[in-house]
Chain A
Amino acid sequence: MNRTWVTPGGVHPPENKHQSMTQQIGSLPIPDKLVIPLSQHIGAAAAACVEVGQHVLKGQLIAEAAGVVSIPMHAPTSGTISAIEHRPIAHASGMLAPCIEITSDGADSWIEHQGISDYEHTSPEKLLEIVANAGITGMGGAGFPSAVKLNPGRQRPIDTLIINATECEPYITADDSAIRERAGEIVDGIKILSAILGHPHNILIGIEDNKPEAIAALQPHVESTGISIVVFPTKYPSGGEKQLIYILTGKELPAGKLPADLGMVCINIGTTYAIKRAVIDGEPLISRVTTVTGEAVGTQRNYDVLIGTPVSHLLAHNQFDQERCSRVIMGGPMMGFSLPSAEVPVVKTTNCILAPSYAEIPEDEPAQPCIRCGMCAEACPVSLLPQQLFWYAQAQDHDRLEAHNLFDCIECGACSYVCPSNIPLVQYYRSAKGEIRQAHDEKIRSDHARERFEFHKARIEQAEQEKEAKRAARREAAQQAKSATATNGSSGGSSAADIIAAAQARAAAKQASPEDQRAKLERTIAATEQRLQLAEEKLAEAVASNSDKQSVFSAAVENTRQKLEQSKSKLAELAE
């Protein structure tokens, strides 16, 4: 029996898990239209590699990973790409994001695919490539690309593989039901993970003691495999990565460090199933188990849902009662968020759709002032001081918020849950985190702008200096010329006569030698003779046709003849 450690704080909200565990994992008819957001994960959004109107098969690649920390997307069913545009997605902001819409053809025909049964004799690099190409992200909530997590690099050898089967949040039973029904495949997935990570020493499945059936289902499959199931008391939030690592190993993950820095990798149990499907069956991640629960739906159970199925489709097939429903929440009641519309699609991280009645989860009561009772500090699983953080968040005192380790807050909501004044503490922290990040970004931008401004100033100054230098050089040259003429002037009498004489001298100098001049004149004479001949011909023509241009042509002939005589006389002068 493995030893477990106890995390500080934590709460015990009503579990409400039994409602959705009465039936097995169900399946739904394929919706007419599926919407696949290009960003369902942490990192760069995938880049669409299909065109509108193109027919795709189930499992076909429709968007490629853009960079290392990114994942590809695949068609969840066969059909036609009917749109690539911005659509509402499952995000608390209610904003639109790029999505691919597939209109199903109802055939649900698979693309050709093939798995590897002999994963033990396949290189870890090859397995990792399969995981990356299957578009697998962490399916617990954050959605970090699994292939990146499983490739910590040589300098960080992994000795502990932790499988997170905690599922500590109320209402959610997706992992619980998956373990009960698919324990064998999950253990296969864990074995593949172990092979990828070079067979770490410890393989621990961390699971809370409120899932005895799941534990019993896993037990026979892990015998003599070196995998240990570690059961610990139920408490919210034990399923956080840092919390689970502490519970199972007693090691605290320092702020800003990754589990790989401690030689650990922590993977959600739902992800292990997806990895098994990818490697052994060759199927990319196109569906997941999602809990549909809450009193406002008629049937509360788990479904194997295609990624991209609209939430409204899920609700419509479960006798959803809009009248009774206070809000539709994606995720659990503690960490989930209200959906802006029921048209948003299920994504790779959607573990629960909660449609509670007004009695179940009432509207938020108005917040009262903080009475400094300290219950939040007792409940905090990270040992922060929520009341102080609240105080500084209100005052927007970013320095003190950071000094009180705001960024270690996992936003679990335990403090808000216990607060007798109903203060929405987590929302304060989220907003303060956003503001600090924004201020940080702006600081970087302003530093950058300063650099550019200073460079701009330096450039202008340099240009100005260069101009000034040129101007100075010109001034000097002018002055020199002036002084030179001044010295010439003093030796050669009156200036005006001098200048004229100098100009004549220059002109004379420019004139060519007598031979050149003669040649030039001879050329002129030849050309003029030719022109004269032409003009005489034209005049003769004009006379013959009795044209009114006779006078014009006779003048031209006269003119040319004069020029010819001038040139001839000049040539005679030159000969003398």
Chain B
Amino acid sequence: MIELISQQPIFAALIAMVGLSILFGGLLGYAAEKFKVEGDPIVEQIDELLPQTQCGQCGFPGCRPYAQSIADGDAINKCPPGGQATINALANLLGVPAPELDQEHGQESEVKTVAYIREDECIGCTKCIQACPVDAILGAAKLMHTVIADECTGCDLCVEPCPVDCIDMLPVEETIADWKWSTPAKPGQMIATDRRGELGSNTVQEDAA
């Protein structure tokens, strides 16, 4: 046997190659089992970018199911609370062009809001407590309810079930602590074609039409 191998180098090469492929194949197989990633990492990454409002405006019961759906090829412009910023971030992550927000699912609101229960009018029906996706409403049957403003995501899912319409969505007031400087107006455009920005956008619209 050894004689045959030493006389016929083709066999030596074959044995070596086969041996190496078995070895590396085994290693790869072991690594695939040992370092197996649980779940779909892209879903995690998409879920990280979604605003976690859990409002269901996208048509899915929460942010994670929508993340799963995006990973399966759904459109990325169905999240009004996240708005254009979220769409851009998702487009960046997935390497696709960023579309505009799909108005069918709602409009991006300028100000952040939180739910507020007019406590005098609350009848203690617990319907809003059941509707809240993040357990931000406190109360018990036949007792007054109230919203923990810090935990409220502003999803407004509690507004609709309220039988006495005592829940308002109030804008979060800016305080000195979270005030920030505004961005200055853009400097003047020097290049002639940039200056004719309006003209440029017109032609784009015409092209699209």
Contacts and interface: CB of A to CB of B under 8 A. Distances in A.
A428 interface: yes
A364 to B, nearest CB: 9
Contacts of A445: 52, 153
Given A446-B52, A449-B134, A453-B134, A431 B187 contact: no
B196 interface: no
A44 to B, nearest CB: 10
Contacts of B64: 450
Contacts of B47: 450
A452 B188 CA distance: 47
B135 A455 contact: yes
A95 B179 contact: yes
A430 interface: yes
Interface string A455-484: 111010000000000000000000000000
A370 B134 contact: no
Given A367-B188, A369-B190, A447 B176 contact: no
Contacts of B180: 430-431, 433-435, 437-438
Contact of A428 (B133, B153, B183): B183
Given A369-B187, A452-B134, A92 B52 contact: no
A453 B133 contact: yes
Interface in A422-442: 423-424, 427-428, 430-435, 437-438, 441-442
A447 B151 CA distance: 11
A561 interface: no
A5 to B, nearest CB: 32
A430 B181 contact: yes
A446 B67 CA distance: 14
B161 interface: no
Contacts of B188: 366-369
B181 A449 contact: no
A368 B190 contact: yes
Contacts, number: 89
Contact of B176 (A97, A369, A394, A430): A97
Interface centre among B54, B176, B188 (most CB of A within 10 A): B176
Given A431-B184, A449-B52, A438 B133 contact: no
Interface in A382-396: 393-394
Interface centre among A93, A423, A428 (most CB of B within 10 A): A93
Nearest to A425: B184
A528 B114 CA distance: 71
A430 B176 CA distance: 15
Instruction: Report the interface size class on chain B.
Output: 20 to 34
Given A91-B176, A97-B176, A450 B63 contact: yes
Instruction: Report the interface size class on chain A.
Output: 35 or more
Contacts of A427: 181-184
B36 interface: no
A312 interface: no
A446 B51 contact: yes
Interface string B33-66: 0000000000000010011111000000011100
Contacts of B190: 368-369
A407 to B, nearest CB: 14
Nearest to B130: A460
A524 interface: no
A452 B62 CA distance: 12
A449 B153 CA distance: 7
Interface in B150-184: 151, 153, 174-176, 178-184
A367 B187 contact: yes
B187 A421 contact: yes
Given A92-B181, A446-B52, A450-B47, A394 B186 contact: yes
A393 B64 CA distance: 31
A93 B134 contact: no
A367 B181 contact: no
Interface of A: 39, 89, 91-93, 95, 97, 366-370, 393-394, 421, 423-424, 427-428, 430-435, 437-438, 441-442, 445-450, 452-453, 455-457, 459
Interface of B: 47, 50-54, 62-64, 132-136, 151, 153, 174-176, 178-190
24 contacts: A93-B179, A95-B176, A95-B179, A97-B176, A368-B187, A368-B188, A369-B190, A431-B181, A431-B184, A432-B183, A441-B178, A446-B52, A449-B52, A449-B134, A449-B153, A450-B52, A450-B64, A452-B134, A452-B136, A452-B151, A453-B54, A453-B63, A453-B133, A453-B134
